[in-house]
Amino acid sequence: MLKVRIIPTLLYKDFSLVKGIGFDSWRRIGPILPAVKIFNSREVDELIFLDITSTNKGINPDYESISELSKFCFVPLTVGGGINSIEQVDKIIEIGADKVSINTACYENPQIISDVANRFGKQCVVASIDVRFENNEWICYKNSGLKKTNKTPLEWAKELESLGAGEILITSIDRDGLMKGYDQELISLLTNNLRIPVVASGGAGPFDDLYDAVSNSKASALAAASIFQFTQNTPNDIKKFLKKKGIPVRLNS
């Protein structure tokens, strides 16, 4: 079994980090760089930086902030938000990101996944899927959870995998920010039917639930935000807990 990754997610809006519940990210947390420096010191495996307003505003990613962030980020960095062209990806990789997370643009131009994978390799492409559960089924949403699509997560994840995605970031909008646990059934649905890694997101909280997401639902990585910003828990705490449970993690202390 490969070592499980613990990945803090940083949500960026109007020059500040934010967080909320169910994708209603209204609460301002503070500037980016202090958070990045803290996570650098806490043995995180990667960081995910998502600009949650660029797509809906129809503007380019904030290259200046991404460049500044990458200078102080000493772990692999995934950048998402507002990405809809290979030219933008070129720029984002050039200024220091290791991967890109693409969501809304995939629905409008699925070829972008293949274009990025062909140029930079599959390991560079994180296909992001945001999901709500309604009328007894999961439905994919785009535009930061504002617009409903006609896709269900499994069919869409399989299509993204076939196009060249290196991994899937699956987020339960319903559970986002609640810290009551991941949607284990949703995670399992993907891991049981895909060959590429699945990153669990949306609801990280109880440590036993984090363990279940890896041991039972077979997630390759655990992404989280609120648990690190609104509790005393650290990525190291999670890793130590998982290690005691027999889960392989990267842990230096």
Tell me the catalytic residues: 130
Q: Which residue has the tokens 């960081």?
A: 47
Strand pairing class (167-172; 221-224): unpaired
Q: Which residues contact 123 (CB under 8 A, 6 or more apart)?
A: 99, 166
Q: 77 has which bridge partners?
A: 47
Strand pairing class (16-21; 24-30): antiparallel
User: Which pair of structure tokens corresponds to residue 181?
Assistant: 């646990």
Question: Are 49 and 60 spatial neighbours (Cβ–Cβ below 8 Å)?
Answer: no
Q: 102 has which bridge partners?
A: 127
Closest listed residue to residue 172, CA positions, set 222, 224, 133, 137: 133
Question: Are 8 and 201 spatial neighbours (Cβ–Cβ below 8 Å)?
Answer: no
Measured between alpha carbons, how far is 41 from 253 in angstroms, rounded to an integer? 12
The DSSP code for 219 is -
Q: Compute the Cα dihedral for 9, 241, 44, 46 and give only its sign.
A: negative
